Amino acid sequence: MAQSLTLTITALRERVEAIFLNAGLNPVQATALTTVIVAGERDACKSHGIYRIEGALRTVKAGKVDPRAIPELQLNEGSAIVKVNAKRGFANAAFELGLPAFAKRTSEFGLAALVINDCTHFSALWPEVEAVTKEGLAALVMCPSYATVAPTGGNKPLLGTNPFAFGWPRKDAAPYVFDFATSVAARGEIELHRRSGRSLPQGWAIDAEGNPTTEPEAALAGAMLPFGGHKGSAIGTMIELLAGIMIGDLTSPEVLDYLGTTTLAPFHGELIIGMSPEAFAAGRPGDPFARAEKLFDAIVGQGARLPSQRRFAARQTSETQGIILTEAEVEQLDRLRELGLEAVS
């Protein structure tokens, strides 16, 4: 019987990567997936940590993602739009491939975009936002998902949980980063509530008849609600337009039609917009980075916390004390490593 275990980040990486390699992913895909999943556990973001491995493997087994894909960079000279075709692999490997050229163009032009097409995407967006801020750039990242959210005033799933993230680089501190679903909560949170037998908070979801529910099962069969009423509904719609229709990729209802289920990871595109604060502020008074620090100080000075502060604190704890996994989680990792795709239905 496996015991609960404290693992170093490196040790967890080795376990997760072994699962993906044993399941037939090539090293490009396995390494990129391992990086984001381990980052999720390390930063105490359980809804996008090791719990996502099973879904990724299910998607491989269903033939809806190519585990051996090699993403392809498409550069047009003089264009601020850098494209990567994920070749039906996971988005994470495509992002890693596109980042250097995208960062270079953003610095050159002051503003550039990285478009990822034909990818499977299940991860949190903050690893990508943080990678862009490391280049001294600000970033907006967004993607659709699959239809699970009713637009405000509606009663059936149509929009995705469509994550939206922003990052601002800081010279002597961790970047300012927020990253959230445009639904009240990520769907992963509903699934985690279901698994642990907890009710949902009021206002997260409606059942299949359109009535408010706090039952995870009923919510999964019904629809989630956008955050902030009509405001979240409009931002979720904007993401369908910009990161679905505008980049020639699938919208959330089209993703659900294509997959036929929400038990697999969604297949669509992703849009990353990079901005150089120095280029935008050129010729105007003040250093944008110093001015940003004043704003952050004022926020914290009121007793508020910056987004990602909890995550960065969790990261520090993991780096010094390791990552604690429950007995059930350790057993599941062992099972997935041993059985590979046989472990998932």
140 phi and psi angles, rounded to 5 deg: -120, 130
Residue 49, both tokens: 């940590």
Go through the chain and tell me how many residues it has. 345
Kind of pairing between the strands at 5-7 and 323-325: antiparallel
Contact indicator for 248, 269 with CB cutoff of 8 Å: yes
Task: Pick the closer one to ligand NDP by CB: 282 or 295.
Answer: 295
- Catalytic residue chosen out of the listed positions 17, 48, 145, 318: 48
The 5-34 site mask, x for binding ligand PYC (CB under 6 A), equals: ------------------------------
103-162 binders of ligand NDP (CB under 6 A): 121-126, 143, 145, 161
Residue 175, both tokens: 């970047």
**Closest by alpha carbon to 28, among 38, 40, 37, 17?**
17
With b for 16 or more beta-carbon neighbours within 10 A and e for fewer, the 199-218 pattern comes to ebeeebbbbeeeeebbebeb
The 190-229 site mask, x for binding ligand NDP (CB under 6 A), equals: ----------------------------------------
The 245-284 site mask, x for binding ligand PYC (CB under 6 A), equals: ---------------------x------------------
- Our finding on whether 116 is near ligand PYC (CB under 6 A) is no
Kind of pairing between the strands at 81-85 and 111-120: parallel
Task: Pick the closer one to ligand NDP by CB: 66 or 189.
Answer: 189
Stretch binding ligand PYC (CB under 6 A), from 1-9, 81-89, 179-187, 302-310? 179-187
Task: Pick the closer one to ligand PYC by CB: 141 or 181.
Answer: 181
- Our finding on whether 180 is near ligand NDP (CB under 6 A) is yes
**Judged by CB under 6 A, which of 186, 243, 323, 333 binds ligand PYC?**
186
Burial of 159 (0-12, 13-18, 19+ CB in 10 A): buried
Binding partner of residue 23 among ligand NDP, ligand PYC, none, CB under 5 to 8 Å per kind? none
Contact indicator for 98, 86 with CB cutoff of 8 Å: no
**Closest by alpha carbon to 255, among 238, 276, 277, 270?**
270
Q: What crossing angle do the helices spanning 91-109 and 126-133 adopt, rounded to 10°?
A: 30
Stretch binding ligand PYC (CB under 6 A), from 35-43, 185-193, 249-257, 331-339? 185-193
Contact indicator for 272, 102 with CB cutoff of 8 Å: yes
- Catalytic residue chosen out of the listed positions 189, 240, 254, 270: 189
Kind of pairing between the strands at 164-168 and 176-180: antiparallel
**Judged by CB under 6 A, which of 92, 106, 117, 145 binds ligand PYC?**
145
- Our finding on whether 317 is near ligand NDP (CB under 6 A) is no
d(CA 27, CA 45): 24
- Is 48 among the residues known to form the active site? yes
Stretch binding ligand PYC (CB under 6 A), from 95-103, 169-177, 183-191, 239-247? 183-191
- Our finding on whether 49 is near ligand NDP (CB under 6 A) is no
Task: Pick the closer one to ligand PYC by CB: 115 or 186.
Answer: 186
Residue 218, both tokens: 């009923």
- Our finding on whether 181 is near ligand NDP (CB under 6 A) is yes
Burial of 286 (0-12, 13-18, 19+ CB in 10 A): exposed
The 32-71 site mask, x for binding ligand PYC (CB under 6 A), equals: ---------------x------------------------
* Residues known to be catalytic: 47-48, 189
Which chain residues interact with ligand PYC by CB under 6 A? 47, 122, 145, 161, 181, 186-188, 266
